[in-house]
Amino acid sequence: MASAFRVSLVKRFFRKPNAEEDGYQYEPLGNRYMIRLLRLEPDLTGDGHLALSIKTFSRLDRNIPAYHALSYCWGDPKPTRHVYLGGKLCGVHENLWQLLNLLWESSMFDYFWTDCLSLNQNDDLEICAQLPVMGQIYSKATRVILCVGYDTQGQDALERFSIWEPPNALGNGMIEAYQLITSVVYWNRVWIVQEVASAQRGTVIAGKSSMDLVQFLDKAIWLYHNAGLPHTIPSILGIHALRTQGEKTLLELLCGFQHCQSTKPIDRVYGLLGVVADSWSWINQLDVQRDKTPRDVFWDVVFEAGIPWPQYGSLFSALEPMYKADGPQVWVDSLNEYIQDPKTPGNRRQQSRTTLEVLGAMRELMLSYECFDNSNQQMSWRSAFQFVLSSVWDPALRFRRSSTAFGLAIFLAGLAPIGKLSQDITPEKPVAWKTCNVDMISINQSWSHRKSFLLRPLLTDGQSPPLESYFVGNYQNPNPAIMFNFIGGFLFVVPCSDGGKFLYTSLSPMLR
Strongest mean pLDDT among 168-177, 227-236, 439-448: 168-177
Strongest mean pLDDT among 208-217, 223-232, 310-319, 435-444: 208-217
Cβ(381)–Cβ(366) below 8 Å = yes
Distances (CA, A) of 13 to 92, 241, 284, 294, 427: 15, 26, 17, 16, 35
Q: What is the pLDDT of residue 499?
A: 36
For residues 481 and 83, the model is more confident at 83
Report the candidate in 86, 89, 80 with the shortest Cα–Cα distance to residue 47: 89
Does the pLDDT at position 504 exceed 50? Answer: no
Q: What is the pLDDT of residue 403?
A: 65
- Residues of the chain with pLDDT > 70: what percent? 67
CA 407 to chain centre: 19
Does the pLDDT at position 310 exceed 90? Answer: no
Q: What 3-state class would DSSP assign to 173? A: coil
Q: What is the pLDDT of residue 328?
A: 67
Does the pLDDT at position 175 exceed 80? Answer: yes
Does the pLDDT at position 184 exceed 60? Answer: yes
Q: What is the pLDDT of residue 106?
A: 94
To the nearest 10°, report the CA torsion of 20, 23, 27, 28: -30
Residue 218: half-sphere exposure toward Cβ, Cα within 13 Å: 10
To the nearest 10°, report the CA torsion of 160, 162, 168, 174: 30
- Of 67-81, 104-118, 163-177, 309-323, which range is least confident? 163-177
> Which residue(s) pair with 360 in the sheet?
none
pLDDT digits (tens, 9 = 90+) for 10-43: 333 333 443 334 479 999 998 888 999 999 999 9
Q: What is the pLDDT of residue 476?
A: 40
Q: What is the pLDDT of residue 232?
A: 62
Q: What is the pLDDT of residue 287?
A: 83
Given pLDDT bands bounded at 50, 70 and 90, which one contains residue 382? low
Report the candidate in 23, 56, 38, 40 with the shortest Cα–Cα distance to residue 126: 56
pLDDT digits (tens, 9 = 90+) for 406-431: 778 878 877 755 555 555 554 444 44
pLDDT digits (tens, 9 = 90+) for 250-294: 999 999 999 999 988 998 998 888 888 777 677 777 888 878 899
Characterize 69-99 residue by residue with b for buried, 16 or more Cβ atoms within 10 angstroms of its Cβ, and e for exposed. Answer: bbbbbbeebebebbbbbbeeebbbbbbbbbb
- Of 217-221, 289-293, 311-315, 456-460, which range is least confident? 456-460
Q: What is the pLDDT of residue 406?
A: 72
Q: What is the pLDDT of residue 471?
A: 33
- Kindly give, in sequence order, each residue whose CB lies less than 8 Å from that of residue 406, ignoring residues fewer than 6 positions away: 309, 358, 389, 392, 488, 489, 507, 509
Q: What is the pLDDT of residue 253?
A: 93
Given pLDDT bands bounded at 50, 70 and 90, which one contains residue 447? very low
Q: What is the pLDDT of residue 401?
A: 53
Helices (DSSP H) in 259-345: which residue ranges?
267-270, 279-286, 294-304, 312-319, 328-340
Does the pLDDT at position 501 exceed 70? Answer: no
- Of 106-110, 221-225, 318-322, which range is least confident? 221-225
Write down the pTM of the prediction.
Answer: 0.79
Q: What is the pLDDT of residue 402?
A: 58
My answer on whether omega of the bond before 167 falls inside 30° of 0, hence cis, is yes
- Of 202-211, 212-221, 273-282, 305-314, which range is least confident? 273-282
Kindly tell me the sign of the dihedral angle through the C-alpha atoms of 14, 17, 19, 24. Answer: negative
Does the pLDDT at position 439 exceed 50? Answer: no
pLDDT digits (tens, 9 = 90+) for 456-478: 556 555 454 443 333 333 334 33
Q: What is the pLDDT of residue 474?
A: 36
DSSP state of 474: G
Helix (H) or strand (E) run with residue 162 in it = helix 152-163
The overall average pLDDT reported for the chain is 75
pLDDT digits (tens, 9 = 90+) for 363-375: 766 766 666 665 6
